[in-house]
């Protein structure tokens, strides 16, 4: 089954309440399990419960082929449909989400890597808007892994977007990571000389960026870390690091939403997904991961093969 450009429908909907989500100005249509969506966060629960019941009488109007006149409808006009497809992937395949992203990067055309990166950035921001920290952190992890895989530097254009176009509360963790990436790039990468001029212009245009950059450098000095080798792309597998490890990468939860409460403890996302510092991911759903009483037999993900997802074909 290939996802339609206009409508996405999950499998095994018989006997399950569903909600239609129209995304973007073009109103791309997604049909999802209502309870799973409501259980994901208060944003969807509040908005879906506020939707008035549809009228049973539609005199003079033609019914659609799939007879969904009884479905609840929620419209997200300001969100990108391609980003929302990744949200659906996370919603239904949360334990396998990192594996799906990794597989996508192995199979998709190289010219689409940046498009996927952009969609992950918007996924992170969307998660911040709807207050869904677990998805926000998953997007952050995927971005770090992408930058490590391709050894990307932090671009001035990305920084201008974060500091010029994004709400500071929504982009705070992206900014923190981007500033660490900028410091690492300027102090150790081949692009340091060519980026010096554009970065100085950014500092003038965005004083907050300059302040965050100098604060980051001060923290590096205080921690006796060498900014040239402490790589913000590298997520070390545990938070409690040995003295030698912390000089080369960042704690697992450094850029997560729960960083301040976890400290050096185990990442709660790792626990929810059945991971331990020495364990491999467990490919099944666990209690607390999605608070839904829909059985596995009924809850079939719309994503069966990443090659079928339309965001991988954006030409």
pLDDT tens-digit series, residues 48-79: 888 765 544 344 444 344 444 446 789 999 99
43-57, 102-116, 137-151, 278-292: least confident range = 278-292
Count of Cβ atoms closer than 10 Å to residue 113 Cβ: 16
pLDDT tens readout for residues 245-265: 677 888 888 899 886 665 666
- pLDDT for 261 equals 64
| Contacts for 310 with CB less than 8 Å, ≥ 6 apart | 2, 3, 4, 5, 82, 85
Q: What is the pTM of this model?
A: 0.77
State mean pLDDT over 174-188: 92
Buried b (16+ CB within 10 A) or exposed e, 50-87: eeeeeeeeeeeeeeeeeebeebbebebeebbbbbbbbb
**162 has a pLDDT exceeding 70:** yes
- 152 with 146: CB under 8 angstroms? yes
Count of Cβ atoms closer than 10 Å to residue 192 Cβ: 15
The chain-wide mean pLDDT, for the chain, equals: 77
71 CB-side CA count, 13 A? 24
Q: What is the C-alpha separation between 220 and 180, in angstroms, rounded?
A: 10
């Amino acid at each position: 089954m290939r996802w339609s450009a206009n409508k996405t429908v999950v499998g095994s909907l018989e006997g399950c309440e569903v909600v239609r989500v129209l995304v973007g100005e073009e109103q791309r249509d997604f049909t999802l399990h209502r309870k799973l969506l409501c259980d994901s966060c208060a944003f969807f629960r509040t908005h879906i419960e506020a939707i008035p019941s549809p009228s049973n009488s539609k005199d003079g109007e033609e019914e659609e082929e799939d007879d969904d006149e009884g479905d609840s409808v929620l419209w997200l006009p300001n969100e990108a449909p391609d980003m929302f497809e990744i949200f659906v992937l996370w919603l239904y395949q949360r334990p396998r989400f990192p594996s799906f992203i990794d597989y996508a990067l192995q199979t998709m055309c190289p010219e689409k890597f940046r498009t996927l990166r952009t969609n992950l950035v918007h996924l992170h921001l969307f998660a911040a808007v709807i207050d869904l920290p677990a998805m926000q952190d998953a997007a952050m992890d995927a971005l770090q892994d992408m930058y490590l895989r391709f050894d990307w530097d932090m671009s001035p254009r990305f920084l201008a977007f974060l500091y010029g176009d994004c709400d500071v509360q929504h982009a705070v963790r992206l900014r923190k990571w981007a500033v660490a990436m900028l410091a690492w790039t300027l102090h150790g990468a081949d692009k340091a000389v060519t980026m010096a001029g554009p970065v100085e212009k950014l500092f003038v245009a965005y004083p907050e960026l300059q302040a965050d950059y100098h604060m980051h450098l001060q923290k590096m000095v205080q921690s006796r870390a060498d900014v040239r080798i402490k790589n913000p792309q590298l997520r070390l597998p545990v938070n409690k690091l040995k003295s030698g490890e912390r000089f080369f990468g960042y704690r697992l939860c450094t850029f997560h939403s729960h960083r301040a409460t976890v400290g050096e403890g185990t990442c709660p996302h790792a626990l929810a997904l059945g991971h331990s510092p020495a364990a491999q991911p467990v490919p099944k759903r666990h209690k607390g991961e999605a608070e839904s009483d829909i059985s596995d037999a009924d809850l079939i993900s719309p994503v069966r093969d990443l090659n079928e997802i339309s965001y991988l074909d954006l030409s």
